[in-house]
Structure 1
C-alpha cells in the first residue's frame, strides 16, 4: 500500500475530488522519510539559488527506500509534491532524486537523459 489514508479522507475521495492540501498532508503523514527528503531538498534549492539540487544520500533502511520509490513512482503523488513546492522532481535510483526550478529545463533534461542514467549506475545500486 502506498499511503495510509485516514477514513475521513477516503470518504471525501469517495464523494468527489480532494484538495492538494489534503492529499499532501496524507503523503507527508504516510511517507515521513520521503517527505522529509523532498522538503530538505526544496529548502536547499531555495537557499542555494542554483537551478537544481540532488539527494545523494542512500535511505538508511529498506522501509525508507520504499517510501522514496512509492512517492516518485506515483504520478499523483509526484505531481502534488511538485505543485506544493513549486519544483520539478526527477528520479534516477533509490536515492538520487533531483529537484529543479521550473525554468531549469536544460538541467532537468540533462538529469533525465539516458546518458545521465547510464553514468549514474554502480554495482551496489543494482538491487536498490
Structure 2
C-alpha cells in the first residue's frame, strides 16, 4: 500500500507540475502573442502608409497632367476667341461694303433690280 500511496502522490505532483507549467507558458505566451500582434499591426500600418504614399504620388502626377491640360485648353480658347473676333470683324467689313455697294449702284440694291415703284393715288392693277 505504501507503494500505491507513493505512486498516487507522484501522479498528483506530476499533474500539478504540468498544470502550473501550462498556466505559466500560457500567460507568458500571451505576452509573446501580444508582441507578435503588435509587430503585425506595425507592419500593416507601414504597408498601409506605403500604399497611401503611392496613391498620393499617383494623384499628384494626375493633378499635374490635368493642370497642363487646362492650360492647353485655355490657350486654345484664347486663340479661338481671337479667330472669332477676326471673323466678326471681317463680317462687319463685308456687310459695310455690301451696304455701300447697294447704295452706289444707282439705288438698285445688291441684285441690280430696280426697287418696286409706288404709285400715288391712282395706280394700275397687275
Does TM-score exceed 0.5, indicating one fold?
no
Q: Which has the higher helix share?
A: 2
Structure with more relative contact order (C-alpha pairs < 8 Å, separation 6 or more): 1
Q: Which has the higher strand share?
A: 1
Max Rg structure:
2
TM-score by length of 2: 0.19
